[in-house]
A and B are shown apart, each in its own frame.
With several copies, the nearest count.
Chain A
Amino acid sequence: MEPRKPKNIFVKGAVSASFIAESIQKHSSRHDIGGHSIFLGQVRADKVEGKTVSAIDYTTYEEMALEKMHEIREAIFAKYELTCMHVYHSLGKVAAGEICLFVFTSSAHRKPAIAACSELVERIKAELPVWGKEVFDNETYQWKENK
């Protein structure tokens, strides 16, 4: 069997609600799926010393991120009984209120889908070489820190 090829997860700008709807809709032909779990990261307009975050500008070390994502994907597929797994992460500017991360897992039963989605989100945040620059309304910025 040929190994799965690393898939691109990066999209330019925000993930739209209609893109999410299309992804969900595509799974209606998979009659072995009983549950989908979705996580969406949304850009918050945090206030820092009187300034407000208006957008996050994302960059990545793409080749490394895709290799790492491939490794995470294989590990999650090995650990949970999933039918599908999809991950999309924004690059470039994503305005406050827009979606920057879309993680989507499906399974015959709810528990693997939910557990896999949650673990994927944690691993993506901790292990993918992606950086967010929080751009303020006055054009200054600070580098985002994940907690």
Chain B
Amino acid sequence: MSSFKKNIIVFGQLTDIIGAAEINFPAVGDTDALKNQLIAKYPQLAELSFVIAVDKKIAAGNTPLQLDSGIALLPPFSGG
């Protein structure tokens, strides 16, 4: 059912690994579960350091996800 899928936005070199700037991914309960399932689907992610932003804040530790949470995958920043 589509209501159990979530849009996840993807940035930087993660777009090369995932092959898109946005993916539709099965909803899970927290950021640790999300990370595990992402790595299961995209094994190259395991080799890269990345963080999950929930509603524009970097998840510090395992963070519960709501159905309406805005989720983004952020590789190390390299601005400036």
Contacts and interface: CB of A to CB of B under 8 A. Distances in A.
Report if A and B touch in the complex (beta carbons < 8 A).
yes
A67 B57 CA distance: 9
Interface stretch (B8-16, B23-31, B34-42, B61-69): B8-16
B78 A101 contact: no
Interface string A123-141: 0111111111100000000
A60 B77 CA distance: 9
B11 A144 contact: no
A89 to B, nearest CB: 6
Nearest to A68: B56
Give the dominant DSSP class at A's interface.
mixed
A126 B16 CA distance: 22
A59 B11 contact: yes
A64 B11 CA distance: 12
Nearest to B10: A61
Nearest to A100: B80
20 contacts: A41-B80, A59-B12, A60-B79, A61-B72, A61-B74, A63-B56, A64-B72, A101-B79, A124-B79, A125-B80, A126-B77, A128-B77, A129-B53, A130-B80, A131-B12, A131-B77, A131-B78, A132-B79, A143-B16, A143-B75
Query: Across chains A and B, which 9 residue pairs bring their CB atoms closest together, nearest first?
Result: A130-B79, A131-B12, A144-B78, A64-B56, A143-B13, A125-B80, A101-B80, A132-B78, A146-B78
